[in-house]
Structure 1
């Protein structure tokens, strides 16, 4: 492809939730704003809490920090523009801003998936090799693995965006989604996008399925190891340490896998339902994850109780 292709579209129109009557625009914008505030406040709180409490400077909580950062960034990339659309009625997004948003949407999704893989490996070593955990899974190890999870998608996402950017666009300019994504943009190209779409699909499946395979294998090994423990209390305690990780992982992977399998099985969603499902599985986990970290992680729960008790004594 040559960068000399002429682009006829200067702006895209974000369709948002198809078929929504205008009278619901203001309530929807308020609802999306509340979701955004929940994502921003909850994940910022987790990052600051772990950063400021030295007792939480451990591998597991550093991974939570990286996950919270991806959730926070994803909410910041996707929600403000769609909130603005429904608050002001302005659906326009500039051509290049749309590609920038597309880049970060897919980049952050891939990064989150790889960090979930690191989290599963952390639990695998902690439960299956407890005597070696402190030596194997150090803060440095987690920093390197999570750093790689951030760096790896940069390369192929840049290539993906550049390939899409070189195509000519002269369609209706309406993106049937609440934010710019690769499928929505490719549908507006004047040329055959089969090759670009196949590459994009392959990268998406690699970003999703490779970490998912490691996650599933890790938790299967964990379950087998725990079932071999003779004491029921020890089994329960070992599995309870995986609860927040399992909940976070299921919230991310299960809806995506369901949608992909449904599509492959020939089941088609209506446009409004498809958009609603994608927005739900993209944003609700980011809003819920901080609650999981706080109420399902023993050390974070104890830290919050101590801080709360101190604040009451101070009052």
Structure 2
């Protein structure tokens, strides 16, 4: 250990083995992915904040999920784009460790928020008469705050501290677009079993416990709807389909990657792993708001009203400007 010098910077490789001819295309795609995520998630947050009739428990959870996705992309994508646009592939070790914490923090937060979303739908469908007393804006705000402040931070703090105690060796290169625990630990030159075990346990807690509660909730929801075929329940289940799409986008690829990682006879190449990381990290953040706009009636109607109001205001301003110009021209002619 004493023969290793202190490492101050590490290099983010990005997509390993990517030919130089594709750097511009890939970085442009990541740039547009960030713009789409920023615009779509920002719109969802703005609609919920500035429209009083959307300040309901379900939409508060959706706004929190949009905020988490937007912050995740802001923490990771600008640096990933800079690797290819400006050659800024190095990152200080302390900043890398901070990014590791934030990446897993927001990833965990998404899982807990999806769990809250499933609980909200369970109460709305299985206990509709008690919904307003059980699920309130205050309780949802406290629950979301607990997920932001306590759950996500406490689960990921230990794994980040253990990673910070590892000694890096070799060329200090991380085969990833951003600093994640798995890629960072792979660059260490010491026993990393304890750090990997803690990270794996954390991942299973973050994935399996919320996913188990989500599955239990929707099994009961489907059972209630199958027995009671009322129009209100069918409308409520329509929103559940939206949630199920978002849940599938989050959990399916992650479970696939973690299952592959624990199989002793399967070794995933670093370039394939990085592509999968990109797909399951960023694609859901672009797709989720679009799913809300297309399948959530209240959000779709609110967005339509905002756009129509903006169009009307713009047309009225142009009309007033035209009238003023006409008056000014007549005055000049007189």
- TM superposition score normalised by structure 1: 0.94
Name the SS for the 1:192 alignment partner: coil
Q: Does 1:268 align with 2:267?
A: yes
Tell me whether 134-143 or 160-169 shows the greater mean CA deviation: 160-169
Name the SS for the 2:10 alignment partner: strand
Name the SS for the 1:190 alignment partner: coil
1:123 aligns with one of 116, 121, 124 = 121
Tell me whether 261-270 or 102-111 shows the greater mean CA deviation: 261-270
Map of 2:71 onto structure 1:
73
Map of 1:222 onto structure 2:
221
Q: Distance in 2 between matches of 1:213 and 1:44?
A: 30
Q: Distance in 2 between matches of 1:193 and 1:102?
A: 16
Tell me whether 112-121 or 90-99 shows the greater mean CA deviation: 90-99
Q: Distance in 1 between matches of 2:261 and 2:277?
A: 13
- Gaps of at least 5 residues in structure 1 are none
Map of 1:103 onto structure 2:
101
In 2, are the aligned partners of 1:8 and 1:170 still within 8 Å (CA)?
no
Map of 1:282 onto structure 2:
281
Q: Distance in 2 between matches of 1:110 and 1:286?
A: 14
Larger RCO: Structure 1 or Structure 2 (Cα < 8 Å, ≥ 6 residues apart)? 1
Q: Distance in 2 between matches of 1:159 and 1:24?
A: 38
- After superposition, residues 128-139 of structure 1 pair within 5 angstroms as 128-139=126-137
CA 1:50 to 1:236, structure 2 compared with 1: closer, same or farther past 3 Å? same
Q: Distance in 1 between matches of 2:232 and 2:68?
A: 33
Q: Does 1:85 align with 2:83?
A: yes
In 1, are the aligned partners of 2:125 and 2:233 still within 8 Å (CA)?
no
Tell me whether 116-125 or 266-275 shows the greater mean CA deviation: 266-275
Q: Distance in 2 between matches of 1:234 and 1:142?
A: 23
Tell me whether 84-93 or 267-276 shows the greater mean CA deviation: 267-276
Q: Distance in 1 between matches of 2:227 and 2:104?
A: 40
CA positional deviation for 1:200: 1.3
CA positional deviation for 1:237: 2.0
Superposed CA deviations along residues 126-180 of structure 1, whole A, max 9, x for unmatched, are: 0000000011100011111111111212123222222221222223301011111
Q: Distance in 1 between matches of 2:53 and 2:211?
A: 30
Map of 2:249 onto structure 1:
251
- Gaps of at least 5 residues in structure 2 are 316-334
Name the SS for the 2:67 alignment partner: helix
Q: How many residues align?
A: 311
Q: Distance in 2 between matches of 1:235 and 1:47?
A: 27
Map of 1:64 onto structure 2:
62
In 2, are the aligned partners of 1:176 and 1:184 still within 8 Å (CA)?
yes
Name the SS for the 2:246 alignment partner: helix
CA positional deviation for 1:235: 5.0
In 2, are the aligned partners of 1:14 and 1:174 still within 8 Å (CA)?
yes
Q: Distance in 2 between matches of 1:114 and 1:100?
A: 21
Q: Distance in 2 between matches of 1:150 and 1:308?
A: 32
Q: Distance in 1 between matches of 2:236 and 2:3?
A: 58
Q: Distance in 2 between matches of 1:179 and 1:93?
A: 10
